[in-house]
Amino acid sequence: MNTFAYRYPVTVYFGEKAAEKNLPSELKKVGKNVMLAYGGGSVKKNGVYDELMNLLTTAGKNVTEFTDIMSNPTYAKVQEGARLARESKIDFILAVGGGSVIDCCKVVSAQAKTDDDLWELETVKHGSPADFIPMGAVVTAFGTGAEMNNGAVITNEEKKVKGPLWGAFYDFAILDPTYTMTMPINQVISGSFDALSHCMETYMGTPRETNLSDEINEACQRNIIRNLRATLKNPQDIEVRSELVWASAMGENGILKIGKVTDFQAHMLEHQLGAYTDCNHGQGLAVIHPVLYRYMLSEAAPQFARLAVNVWGVDPVGKTETDLANAFLDALASFIKEVGLPTTFTEMGISADTDYVAIADSTVLTGGCCKKFTKDELLAVLYACR
């Protein structure tokens, strides 16, 4: 276990009616002008919008709406939100939705409080924002765990880069599983796989020997696998959904990362795929993971073998470490097919003339990955995913 310091700033309110029970007291702590941020309007169809507006108006807040935040939020949308926040003198941001809305608002919170261009500040000058508009998150679509951290995945369309910016932590996150029950089943599946990917990407980092963080991680992976299978049998099972919502948060609330340097090479590759294709994140990860992991087999065999036994229930008797590592890869690939995720970019509808060379060349190479990939190897992975 590496040395670490652990402190987490996000208060979590979990369970049915969590907003009704806890939002009024949180709103007493913030100023009068509130930005209500959301995406394409599903929050109005499922009743969450009306419930939150009632709580905000009862608390005497002036509400400014920041709407139409897209999947794979763009840097231009961040700047739009920051301008609106400044013009409306926003005291507090309430982000309602999934990872796209929640990530976008993290950066809006920072950009609204500085005259510096945040992309330039963080990626060129290697500085960090120091002032933020306070925020709260209401999760209506799970998977990213974005409500639990201050990293945001933003697409800079001008630069053809989809990558991390660092903004504010949320003061609190409301996780009411009932809010997620109207998610389309395809989104439930891709969100669940994103959560599983976060766990695997953390597990595959360093140290590579057995440690407490990884043993907790194994339990989270088993939970996601079991409950995704269960939710496909009964999508309206609230207990199953509750487990998935919390497992998603666990993947990104820092606990699994204690003492770890994480991997996330699959995520970096998928992010750049998304920058060029605007594809579904969870689906892209489902295609990339098995192929990328095949390329990592010789370096990652001990961890793959542990996952085979401790997560996927493979009987180790009579099997070598390499046998078990291959069994893990087979189990992961079979699960992806079982739950109906795509296995190729073609199945995702990604064009055959996509510039995979540019995607590979612009992908960040992560330090925590047990295999030190080259750009040519990443290009080979992308070609194998087609």
Give the per-residue pLDDT at 38.
Answer: 98
Question: Could you report the per-residue pLDDT of 123-166, keeping only the tens digit for each?
Answer: 999 999 999 999 999 999 999 999 999 999 999 999 999 999 99
- State yes or no: pLDDT of 1 exceeds 70: no
Which distant-in-sequence residues (6+ apart) come within 8 Å of 308 by Cβ?
314, 316, 324, 325, 327, 328, 331
pLDDT digits (tens, 9 = 90+) for 260-306: 999 999 999 999 999 999 999 999 999 999 999 999 999 999 999 99
What gap in Å lies between CA 381 and CA 386, rounded to an integer? 9
Element (H, E) at 351: none
pLDDT at residue 249 greater than cutoff 90:
yes
pLDDT tens readout for residues 223-236: 999 999 999 999 99
Q: Which CATH superfamily is domain 189-385 in?
A: Dehydroquinate synthase-like - alpha domain (1.20.1090.10)
For 181-238, how does the pLDDT look when each residue is reduced to its tens digit (9 = 90+)? 999 999 999 999 999 999 999 999 999 999 999 999 999 999 999 999 999 999 999 9
Find the length of the chain: 386
Distance CA 369, CA 52 (A): 42
**107 is written with which tokens?**
């950066």
75-89 tens-digit pLDDT: 999 999 999 999 999
Residue listed under structure tokens 């605007």: 278
CB-based contact 187:140 (threshold 8 Å): no
pLDDT band at 5 (very low <50, low <70, confident <90, very high): confident
Locate the domains of the chain by residue range: 11-180, 189-385
Residues 6+ apart with CB under 8 A from 353: none
What average pLDDT score do residues 69-74 get?
96
Please name the fold of domain 11-180: Rossmann fold (3.40.50)
pTM of full prediction above 0.85: yes
Residues 386 and 375: their CA atoms lie apart, in Å, by 17
Q: How far apart are CA 298 and CA 22, in angstroms?
A: 50
Query: pLDDT of 303-344, one tens digit each?
Result: 999 999 999 999 999 999 999 999 999 999 999 999 999 999
Query: CA 298 to CA 105: how far, in whole Å?
Result: 41
Q: Which residue from 326, 294, 286, 284 is spatially nearest to 307, judged by alpha carbons?
A: 326
